[in-house]
Amino acid sequence: MRELLTPRERFGLLVIDEPQDRVPVFPLVTAHAARVAGIPVRDYYTDGAAMARSQLVAQEMYGTDFISFFSEVGLVAEALGSRYDYPDDDLPLLTTPKWPGLAEMDEAEVDPFRDGRLRVYLDAITYAYEARGDTVPILAYVPAPFTTAQQLVDQEAFLLGLLTEPDRVHDLLAYATRSIVRFCRAIIGAGGLPILVDPLASGSVISVEHYRDFALPSEAEVIRYLHRYDLDVVLHICGDTNSIIGLMPDSGADLLSIDRIGLDTAIAGAGDRCRIIGNLDTTAILLSRPQEVADSVAAMVLAGKPCPKGFVAATGCEVPVETPPENVRAFVLAAKEAGFNAAFAGFGDSPHAGTVPPDGARRKA
């Protein structure tokens, strides 16, 4: 199958509700790229050039439609003062939150160019944008305020505070939001598109009421800021989102990246307001045979294509680091074949094809 559009053109058409040559393909390849590039995972999340080179190798090897930078949800909390352990061949682990409870708080805000590992991301985005930003969207996962807050204080104290100290929780969320916005501004300046990721706000962790009252308003505040730049924003919540799928579009997100929820349920709950990104089980891509992956992906794409606002074929969460490369290849090939748009085929015969990107293709000024 001949590719008629670049990934950037394809995404540009998706977000203006125009047909694409095929469904965009987005297995969430993050730290798995370190395996593809043959480097330790620790090098991946501590060295911006290594992170970028790994992602460029993986995108070229697999033929995906996005480059995505992410390591773990503690990124902003670490820059604010929480402490993490760096294993040699695994992702960072929280060892000591900045505060033991909700009573303590200061007015510090991050400097994205100095604090923690934020500079690693900015270096990686700059490197990747210079190498491939004209043809491939550069995505950067940013931990949302609710998830970041749970990395700043003892998690048990935080969750108890939802019931006993809601005002202090809101203060903490505002504190986290200020630094997240500063980080997002730096990402945009480097050429990246921030993706808001809020896994600790899923139904696997909190109730629908706590999502509505705490996580959702803070997500919405960050997304309103990003909309000032005329960006289309992805909100990713992994885990179980069955109870909150109808609320997630109220965040203002333009695309919802989902995990443990049926595609039919997600489309019914949010597909008329948001594009849906999802959602092959990451256990399946890790442990299945390539043909089994291909069959599951083809079925997923056929189920997702009717989404009124549009669909992106993706995994429900990050591709596990140890996933066999042949399984990722099977995912991408099957998604492209199942997602092909026969009605778009004539575009390739146009005398203008390949000379001018379709309206909506976004390029950094």
- In this prediction, residue 356 carries a pLDDT of 33
Phi-psi region of 28 (alpha: psi -120 to 50; beta: other; left: phi over 0): beta
Chain centroid to Cα 122, Å, comes to 16
Helical (H) or strand (E) element with 316: strand 311-318
Quote the pLDDT of residue 342.
79
Would you state the pLDDT for residue 1? 63
Q: What is the pLDDT of residues 67-111, one digit of tens each?
A: 999 999 999 999 999 999 999 888 999 999 999 999 888 888 899
Q: Is the pLDDT of residue 300 over 70?
A: yes
* Whole-structure pTM value: 0.93
Reduced to 3 states (helix: H, G, I; strand: E, B; else coil), residue 48 is: helix
Q: Which segments of the chain does DSSP mark as H helices, in order?
A: 7-14, 32-37, 41-46, 48-62, 75-80, 118-132, 145-152, 155-164, 166-190, 208-210, 216-227, 263-270, 282-287, 290-304, 325-338
Rounded to the nearest 5°, which phi and psi values hold at 175?
Answer: -60, -50
- pLDDT grade, residue 156 (50/70/90)? very high
201 confidence band (pLDDT: 50, 70, 90): very high
Residue with tokens 């808001």: 196
Long-range residue pairs from 287-295, CB within 8 A, at least 24 positions apart, any chain: 288/327, 289/327, 290/324, 290/326, 290/327, 290/329, 290/330, 291/330, 293/327, 293/330, 293/331, 293/334, 294/330, 294/331, 294/333, 294/334, 295/334
- What letter would DSSP give residue 254? S
Average pLDDT over all residues of the chain: 93
Distance between CA 217 and CA 252 in Å, rounded? 10
* The pLDDT of residue 345: 66
300 is written with which tokens?
Answer: 């997923």
Give the pLDDT score at 360: 36
In a domain, 358, yes or no: no
Residue 329 lies in a domain: yes
> Is the model's pLDDT at 355 over the cut of 60?
no
Residue range 25-56, pLDDT digits in tens: 999 999 999 999 999 999 999 999 999 999 99
13 — phi, psi (to 5°)? -70, -40
- Lowest-pLDDT choice from 2-6, 166-170, 225-229: 2-6
Mean pLDDT of 5-10: 97
* Predicted pLDDT at 346: 61
Question: Which residue in this structure is represented by tokens 């009605």?
Answer: 343
Q: Is residue 5 part of a domain?
A: no
Cα 161 from Cα 159, distance rounded (Å): 5
Residue 22 lies in a domain: no
Q: Is residue 7 part of a domain?
A: no
Count of domains forming the chain: 1
Residue 172 pLDDT > 60: yes
CB 302 within 8 A of CB 282: no
The reported pLDDT for the residue numbered 140 is 97
Q: Are 13 and 5 in contact (CB under 8 A)?
A: yes
Does residue 361 have a pLDDT over 70? no
Q: Which domain holds residue 191?
A: 28-339
Domain assignment present for residue 54? The answer is yes
Determine the 3-state secondary structure of 250 from DSSP: helix
Residues 318-347 have pLDDT tens digits of 999 999 999 999 999 999 999 998 778 665
pLDDT at residue number 84: 97
Q: Give pLDDT, residue 27.
A: 97
Min mean pLDDT across 74-88, 233-247, 344-358 is at: 344-358
Percent of the chain at pLDDT > 70 equals: 94
Residue 347, pLDDT score: 56
User: In this structure, is residue 218 part of a structural domain?
Assistant: yes
pLDDT, residue 354, reads: 41
293 — phi, psi (to 5°)?
-60, -45
9-18, 77-86, 351-360: segment of lowest average pLDDT: 351-360
Mean per-residue pLDDT, 297-315:
97
Quick one: CA dihedral 68, 71, 73, 74, positive or negative?
A: negative
In a domain, 8, yes or no: no
Q: Is the pLDDT of residue 351 over 70?
A: no
Tell me the CATH number at 240.
3.20.20.210
Distance, C-alpha 117 to centroid of its chain: 18
* pLDDT computed for residue 357 by the predictor: 37
Three-class secondary structure of residue 275 per DSSP: strand
